[in-house]
Amino acid sequence: ALDKAQAAWERQISQASQQKQPDVFWAPARGQDLNISFEDEQRVPVAPGRTGAAGVFDGKAELNAGNVAGYDIEDRFTLSAWVHSDSVPDGGVISKMQDKPQGKGYGVYLNRGHVHVHLTSNYDDDAIRLETEASLDSGRWYHLTVIYSGSRMAEGVGVYIDGKPAKVKVLLDTLYRPFGNAGGTFDYPFRVGGGPGPERRFRGLISDVRVYGRVLNQDEISAMALGEPMRAMVQKPDADRTVIERLALRWYFLASAAAPEWRDAWERLANLTSEREKFERSFPTVMVMAERPIPRETHLLIRGAYDKPGEKVEPGVPAGLPALPAGAPNNRLGFAKWLTDPANPLTARVTVNRFWQMYFGTGIVKTTEDFGSQGEWPSHPELLDWLATEFVRTGWDMKAMQKLIVTSATYRQSSRANRDLLQRDPENRLLARGPRRRLPAEMVRDQALYVAGLLTEKLGGPSVKPYQPAGLWKDTSMQDMEYVQSKGRDLYRRSLYTFWKRTIAPPFMVNFDAANHESCVVRDTRTNTPLQALNLMNDVTFLEAARFLGQRLMKEGGDTTARLRFGFRLATGRWPSPAEEQVLRDDFHFHQDYFSTDAKKADEFLDQGDAPADPALNRPELAAYAAVASMILNLDETITKE
């Protein structure tokens, strides 16, 4: 039905072609952000062009289209134009750059007929610069198209001349930073016939400039480069048309002349295609490795000098351990099979020992990172062996192993210890009591947010930047880097997603002994310092959490005593004793009296953090409950696993 409808339309166009009508050329409509046709252009002289009017450029003038097409290094876009020069083609065709020879931004220009593409943050060392191997001749029209995939790599740039991919020479391939100026804005004007620099103006004709906020495919680029009006293609017999001509006719018919139901379907397809492309671009980049067909030779380096190779070495495993499994290749696959071979004495033991350390604070082998001769002997060798064989027997089931450990009688013991037991076994190596240890830094924060009802439990996604002292990055970094705090629910995501600058760690994490990211750490440390208490009392994260916990008590808890008991149980997992209840009541009444007589202090205390307090609640009373909640969150029992 579609073919018949198009054939009828072609016959109609062919008959009407005998009358004088303006030529119509096909070009993609989806994603087009800019089209300069020069038909009614007043800023530069105009002459007949390849597909309509063309701008006339004399080597001095340029067309300034304003602050448009502000794409940056991670955006996908396409630039296209028809160009013609009576002399050796030279000068800027399209640019959005600083108006100087080595300016920031992106641009396409000609140099002695060769097409140059620049995407530049710093011309010498932070840019993509390439040129075509072939050059353009004078005295004829060329259709130029440049695509950029947003990859920040030269392989993501494509140059097409008359619809065909052009071979290019990469001059520089080190683009890292955005095009924008120091303030982060990219507001250079979009120029036609100019850039980079006032000396690089174009001399000749430029026609039909188009800019797309997406990467056009090969067929679309080839169809644009036809430069043939629809009328001429229609008059050709179908057998004489090229594949691209047939595509151009079909696309034009669907977009402009088909029945409404066909046009609607075509538009829906275009929208769905855009959604699919956007979805595909959201996928994270994953680095993978592949074996070389012929392995590269590797040598010992004499005294570590790269230019003094010594004895040739081959892949292998330590001689003191079993050999690779029979038939296993001598590469990474063979090594993986060796690691997971049930006969391997180390993999399962090392893994379950790490699990044990995670729950008990110390592994069955205390030196978790060293099972060799310098490591410590296991406290319970038979237990380690059994856990390892059970791990292998269950198919290396991680979840099953966690369940096995936490439901064991050993783990479920009370952590209380009498004086005699503490003297005999201060480190609990005999496992005569349950583990007692402070929560890791990430869990201390996450628990406070969860108890307060603030924690965002969304899984996955990019890193976030929660509260941290203002100006910390600027004060401790040699570069002028600004910490841009996250907003909304991102402020309360699990600490797992906190952005971590290698040389400037989140201060809360450092205070609570989180390992730095400069080396691999298998065993963490636990310290007790005044800074930790100050962090829990004064950090905006915990003050805001205390306020929201106070709001929970007022909304969910009942009378004063019930509210205080409820808050204590939320944080510690048990009900307070009568003596503890009395302390909570005394603290609440003290702060209630204090904030009732000084509303300004109550406001200062409640205005911590971005999330506003519930306006329906009495502020002095809320401040009193928040103060009690802060005390509860500071309890040793709250931040310690008993």
| b/e 405-434 (16+ beta carbons within 10 angstroms → b) | beeeebeeeeeebeeeeeeeeeebeebebb
- Two structure tokens written together for 599: 């509303």
CB–CB of 334/328 below 8 Å? Answer: yes
- Two structure tokens written together for 563: 């509210």
pLDDT band with cut points at 50, 70 and 90 for residue 89: confident
Confidence (pLDDT) at 282: 83
Say whether 42 sits in a helix, a strand or coil: coil
- Greatest distance between any 2 Cα atoms in the chain: 110
Domain ranges of the chain: 27-225, 345-424, 437-642
Confidence (pLDDT) at 242: 92
Instruction: Kindly state the average pLDDT of the residues 197-205.
Output: 85
Confidence (pLDDT) at 295: 86
* Cα–Cα dist 366/181, whole Å: 53
Strands 437-438 and 309-313 come out as: unpaired
Can you spell out the DSSP letters for 363-404? -SSS-TT--STTSPPPSSHHHHHHHHHHHHHTTS-HHHHHHH
pLDDT band with cut points at 50, 70 and 90 for residue 185: low
Confidence (pLDDT) at 21: 64
Instruction: Kindly state the average pLDDT of the residues 533-538.
Output: 93
Res. 197: pLDDT tops 80: no
CA dihedral in degrees (341, 343, 348, 350; nearest 10)?
-110
Res. 130: pLDDT tops 70: yes
pLDDT band with cut points at 50, 70 and 90 for residue 19: low
pLDDT band with cut points at 50, 70 and 90 for residue 501: confident
CB–CB of 498/343 below 8 Å? Answer: no
Res. 379: pLDDT tops 80: yes
Choose between 238 and 629: higher pLDDT.
629
* Cα–Cα dist 584/112, whole Å: 83
pLDDT band with cut points at 50, 70 and 90 for residue 285: confident
Strand ranges for 437-545 from DSSP E: 437-438
Query: In angstroms, what CA-CA distances link 221 with 96, 158, 230, 556?
Result: 22, 11, 16, 63
Give the pLDDT confidence of 398-426 residue by residue, as tens digits. 999 999 999 999 999 999 888 998 999 99
- Two structure tokens written together for 122: 């710093």
Confidence (pLDDT) at 594: 95
Tell me the percentage of the chain whose pLDDT exceeds 70.
98
Domain 27-225 classification at class level: mainly beta
603 sits in which H/E element: helix 599-606
Strand partners, 131: 116, 169
Confidence (pLDDT) at 280: 86
Range scoring the smallest mean pLDDT among 253-257, 346-350, 362-366, 615-619: 253-257
Res. 160: pLDDT tops 80: yes
Query: In angstroms, what CA-CA distances link 97 with 63, 66, 107, 183?
Result: 13, 12, 7, 16
Strand partners, 84: 141, 205
Give the pLDDT confidence of 349-369 residue by residue, as tens digits. 999 999 999 999 999 999 999
Mean pLDDT, the chain, integer = 90
Instruction: Kindly state the average pLDDT of the residues 199-221.
Output: 93
